Amino acid sequence: MSAHAIVIGAGANELVAAHYLARAGRKVTVIEAYTMHDAEGWIPPPIVRDLGLDGAGLKVGRADPWLTIPLPDGGRLALPQDVMQSAEAIRRVSPHDAERWPAFCARMASLARMLQTLYEAPPPDPTRGGLRERARQARLGLRLRGIGRKEIAELFRVLPMSVADWLDDWFETDALKGALGAAGIRHLRHGPRAGGTAFALLHRHVGEPPGVFRPATSNVMDALAKLPGIEIRRGVEISGIEVRAGTVAGVTLASGEHIAAPVVVSGLDPRRTLLDLVDPGWLDPELVRALRNIRSRGVSARVDVTVARAPGFAVLAVAPSLDFLERASDDAKYGRISREPYLEVRAGAPTVDGRYRLNVHVQYAPYALAEGDWDAARRSALGDMVVHSLAAHLSGGDDAVTERSVLTPRDLEGTAGWPEGQPHHAELALDQFLWMRPVPALARYRTPVAGLFLCGPAMHPGGGVGVAGAHATREILRR
């Protein structure tokens, strides 16, 4: 069997890359082994337009209120999407914070738009020369200059800050700062007082409306799967990427079947792609070393629970303060599951029998434990702890939960292909950002093997739905 291009993986980035290649006249086969995919966040309008996703039934939703925050007195602070309405909601907790909220939302939106400008293009690479690269950097520079020097200076002041310092500059209410700061440490081993966590908060605000600091949800995976023009083979595992004379020749499946193709695009993490599926003899030793040093430390588990009654919220952030988050991260630093983890709970629509499914993000639960492993007993204990912690926020207490399932970081590695349970494949940090993502030698989606490209979340920009896939395809079509 043969194809013009093989795409490894059927996540959002991979399917976007596959459809762009198909629209360029390529015969594309997608190979998928994993059963779970997450795709939340910003979908750039050009991708929606180019692929006709609206016609495929794309629906993007944001909860309103977008976040509910438990308060120390037992009440709740619900934040509507409208900035002024959320300011009024905050006023009953802190008039000072209510006055600051609109300016904070405007500042965050302005800074996020600058990041979006960087993300909408392949990463600039100051280490490379050539007319094409200089022209690319000049175009990007002109776009940034249009934003203004003062704003650019503010962006580079904020990026290396800790999210705690940034929020302390603005607000006084612990519960509000904890809930906002949680977005800056999500899927990071760091606590909110670590440098660069303000960048992570901004990163997650890209493409979102002012005043909304949680990503949108969508049915983009269903819409992408409905589009014609590509072949998707699910439940199929790849055992190797074939290389001949330094050029990709296709892939070999676990069944022994060989599929020939002059282009292979991998959405798997770079280490697995280049160190496990490719004979490392084709790689420079320095690149091998850099690949092994990519940080992809998973620190989060996922617990799905079913409750008998409506929970009374769409998204609930259990992060009482920045200090709470910092203490929770301390356990993870030493390979321990947090005794009081940060929980973020998303409520789904009611099931046919009137119950409600809640998806609980649990942080910190490190992939690598200092003592023991993620065995059945530890998985069960984590589920017990989450159910007990949720009880304070659900009608019916501990008895509210009728069913539960636990996915540890090791489970997420096996079901979703997240290395060490890290959904971004490479942590979102300033030293793994722009042309350094995931390492400088791979920043342009190309590998040392001719015809082999990378398009997964480890690649620039490390966020957004399908952005890395679109950028990778442009590099492929320039060949």
Per residue of the chain (479 residues), give pLDDT as tens.
778 999 999 999 999 999 999 999 999 999 998 877 778 899 999 999 999 999 999 999 999 999 999 999 889 999 999 999 999 999 999 999 999 999 999 999 999 999 998 999 888 766 666 666 666 655 666 566 666 678 888 898 999 999 999 999 999 999 999 999 999 999 999 999 999 999 999 999 999 999 999 999 999 999 999 999 999 999 999 999 999 999 999 999 999 999 999 999 999 999 999 999 999 889 999 999 999 999 999 999 999 999 988 999 999 999 999 999 999 999 999 999 999 999 999 998 888 788 999 999 999 999 999 999 999 999 999 999 999 999 889 877 766 888 999 999 999 999 999 999 999 999 999 999 999 999 999 999 999 999 999 999 999 999 889 999 999 999 999 87
pTM score, whole prediction: 0.94
Place of tokens 């530890």: 378
pLDDT of residue 147: 63
pLDDT of residue 36: 75
Characterize the bridge pairing of strands 5-8 and 264-266: parallel
3-state secondary structure of 101: helix
Which one, of 371, 460, 464, lies nearest residue 43 by Cα? 464
Query: And the tokens for 429?
Result: 């940090």
Quote the DSSP letter at residue 161. S
3-state secondary structure of 422: coil
Which one, of 173, 171, 218, 270, lies nearest residue 58 by Cα? 218
β-bridge partners, 29: 6, 231
Written as one letter, the residue type at 293 is: N
Q: Under a CB-based contact definition with an 8 Å cutoff, are residues 207 and 44 in contact?
A: yes
Q: Under a CB-based contact definition with an 8 Å cutoff, are residues 413 and 296 in contact?
A: no
Q: Under a CB-based contact definition with an 8 Å cutoff, are residues 154 and 84 in contact?
A: no
pLDDT of residue 142: 59
Place of tokens 């009728």: 402
pLDDT of residue 349: 83
β-bridge partners, 404: 305
Rounded to whole angstroms, how far apart are CA atoms 339 and 358?
21
In whole angstroms, what separates CA 31 from the centre of its chain? 22
Q: Please classify residue 209 by burial: count the beta carbons closer than 10 Å to its beta carbon, then call 0-12 exposed, 13-18 middle and 19+ buried.
A: middle
Q: Under a CB-based contact definition with an 8 Å cutoff, are residues 426 and 463 in contact?
A: no
Cα separation values, 193 from 19, 98, 187, 208, 299, Å: 41, 24, 15, 24, 17
Characterize the bridge pairing of strands 247-253 and 67-70: unpaired
Which one, of 459, 465, 455, 462, lies nearest residue 438 by Cα? 459
pLDDT of residue 426: 97
- The four Cα atoms 226, 349, 216, 96 give a dihedral, to 10 degrees, of 170
pLDDT of residue 398: 65
Q: Please classify residue 143 by burial: count the beta carbons closer than 10 Å to its beta carbon, then call 0-12 exposed, 13-18 middle and 19+ buried.
A: middle
Summarize the chain as % helix, strand, coil (round to 5).
40, 20, 40
